[in-house]
C-alpha cells in the first residue's frame, strides 16, 4: 500500500510583498513545493483583508495547513483568518518574502524562502502565543509579533505608502515622522495596575523581541511564555528620539530613564486624544485599545 498523500493545504501569496519581489519568487517556490511533495492549492491576494478572507475560508473547509507567502503583514492577515475560538484551528506556515521579516527572528522561522519551503514539508508544528487587540465597539484583531500606539504607528502609516526593499523605507519614514512628532498625555494599565501616567511618545506591546525590520524593541519578549511585553517611550522630544532610535537595534534603549518595560497579560492604552495604532506594521483603528495574551493560540509550522 502506498503512502497516504499529505493533507491538502492552501498557500496564500501576496504578489506585492517585498516591493513586488514575491511575485517573481513564487514561480520557483511553487515548483519547489511540488517537488517536495506538498499537496496544495494556492491563491493570490487581491488587496487589504484578502488574505484573511482566504485563510478563513480554508479553515472553514477543514484544511490542515494554511501558508502565508509575503511579508509580516501577510502573515498577520492569514493568522487572523485561520485562528478562531469557535472552530478547529489549522496550522499556519510562512514563507517570508517581505521587507522586515521580523516573524522569522521572533519565531525561529527560516529567513531564506527556499529553506522555509522545505520546512513546510519537513518541519513540525509548535504552539506559540498570540496577542488579542480589542477596541471599543467590538473590533478585534490578532497580533503576531508586535503592536504599537503613537510614534511607531505614525511611522507605519508613512512606511506603508513607500516603495522599496529592506529597512530603508522604514528608516526614511522615521525621519519624516520626526518632524511632526509631539507627545500626548496618556494612561496605561497593565494587569489592573497603573503602569504609566504622563506624556507619551509611543507604547509597544510585543510578543517577540523584534519589530520594524530588526529593531530589538523588547529584548526579553518570548512568544512561548504566556506573557506580552509592554515597552513605554515616555516624554521624548524630537532630538531625543533621533538620538535614541539607533540604540533600539541593539536593545539598549531600555537604559533611557524615559523608557519603561514590563511583562503583563493584559494592557490597556488610553491617551487623552486618539493615537494611531499598528498591528504587525499594518494600520489598525486608533486608541483606546486593549491587548490580552492568548497562550498557545497559534499552531505554527517551523
CATH label of the domain that carries residue 31:
3.40.50.10330
CB atoms < 10 A from the CB of 64, how many? Answer: 17
206 and 90 in one domain?
no
Closest by CA to 131, choosing from 250, 230, 254, 240, is 230
Query: pTM here?
Result: 0.93
Q: Do 150 and 15 belong to one domain?
A: no
Residue 253: other Cβ atoms inside 10 A: 22
Asked if residue 282 and residue 156 are part of one domain, the reply reads yes
Note the pLDDT of residue 8.
86
Last residue of a domain, one of 71, 96, 123: 123
Is residue 132 domain-resident?
no
Closest CA to 142 of 93, 208, 76, 91: 76
Q: 89 Cβ partners below 8 Å, 6+ apart? A: 59, 82, 83, 297, 298, 299
Segments forming the whole domain that contains residue 176: 140-295
pLDDT tops 80 at residue 169: no
Task: Please check whether residues 278 and 148 belong to one and the same domain.
Answer: yes
Q: What is the pLDDT of residue 156?
A: 83
Q: Is the pLDDT assigned to residue 167 strictly greater than 70?
A: no
- Asked, for residue 1, whether it belongs to a domain, the answer is no
Assess whether 158 and 183 both reside in one domain: yes
Is residue 40 situated within a structural domain? Answer: yes
Residues 157 and 282 both lie in one domain: yes
Convert the pLDDT of each residue in 231-284 to its tens digit. 999 999 999 998 888 999 999 999 999 999 999 999 999 999 999 999 998 999
Residues 59 and 179 in one domain: no
Residues 6+ positions from 12 with CB-CB distance below 8 Å: 42, 43, 44, 45, 51, 54, 55, 66, 67, 68, 69, 70, 74, 78
Residue 135 within any structural domain of the chain:
no
**Are 184 and 256 contained in the same domain?**
yes
115 and 179 co-located in one domain: no
Residues 118, 147, single domain; the answer is: no
Task: Report d(CA 237, CA 239) in Å as an integer.
Answer: 6
- Statement: residue 105 has pLDDT above 60: yes
Residue 102 lies in a domain: yes
Cell numbers of 259, please?
A: 523608557
| Cβ pair 26, 15 in contact under 8 A | yes
Of 189, 164, 165, 162, nearest to 174 by C-alpha is 162
Q: How many domains does the chain have?
A: 2
Amino acid at each position: 500500500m502506498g503512502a497516504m498523500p499529505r493533507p491538502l493545504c492552501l498557500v496564500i501569496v501576496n504578489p506585492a510583498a517585498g516591493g513586488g519581489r514575491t511575485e517573481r519568487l513564487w514561480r520557483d517556490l511553487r515548483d519547489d513545493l511540488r517537488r517536495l511533495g506538498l499537496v496544495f492549492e494556492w491563491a493570490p491576494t487581491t488587496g487589504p483583508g484578502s488574505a484573511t478572507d482566504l485563510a478563513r475560508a480554508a479553515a472553514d473547509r477543514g484544511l490542515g495547513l494554511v501558508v502565508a507567502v509575503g511579508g509580516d503583514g501577510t502573515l498577520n492577515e492569514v493568522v487572523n483568518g485561520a485562528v478562531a475560538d469557535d472552530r478547529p484551528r489549522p496550522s499556519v506556515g510562512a514563507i517570508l518574502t517581505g521587507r522586515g521579516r521580523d516573524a522569522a527572528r521572533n519565531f525561529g522561522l527560516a529567513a531564506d524562502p527556499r529553506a522555509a519551503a522545505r520546512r513546510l514539508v519537513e518541519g513540525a508544528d509548535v504552539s506559540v502565543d498570540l496577542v488579542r487587540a480589542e477596541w471599543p465597539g467590538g473590533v478585534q484583531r490578532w497580533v503576531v509579533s508586535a503592536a504599537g500606539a503613537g510614534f511607531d504607528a505614525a511611522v507605519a502609516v508613512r512606511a506603508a505608502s513607500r516603495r522599496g526593499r529592506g529597512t530603508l523605507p522604514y528608516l526614511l519614514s522615521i525621519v519624516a515622522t520626526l518632524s511632526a512628532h509631539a507627545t500626548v498625555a496618556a494612561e496605561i494599565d497593565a494587569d489592573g495596575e497603573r503602569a504609566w501616567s504622563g506624556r507619551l511618545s509611543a507604547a509597544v506591546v510585543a510578543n517577540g523581541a523584534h519589530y520594524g525590520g530588526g529593531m530589538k524593541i523588547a529584548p526579553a519578549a518570548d512568544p512561548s511564555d504566556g506573557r506580552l511585553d509592554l515597552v513605554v517611550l515616555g516624554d521624548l522630544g524630537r532630538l531625543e528620539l533621533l538620538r535614541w532610535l539607533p540604540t533600539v537595534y541593539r536593545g539598549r534603549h531600555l537604559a533611557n530613564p524615559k523608557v519603561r518595560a514590563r511583562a503583563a497579560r493584559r494592557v490597556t492604552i488610553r491617551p487623552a486624544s486618539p493615537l494611531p495604532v499598528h498591528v504587525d506594521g499594518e494600520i489598525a483603528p486608533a486608541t483606546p485599545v486593549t491587548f490580552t495574551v492568548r497562550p498557545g493560540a497559534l499552531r505554527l509550522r517551523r
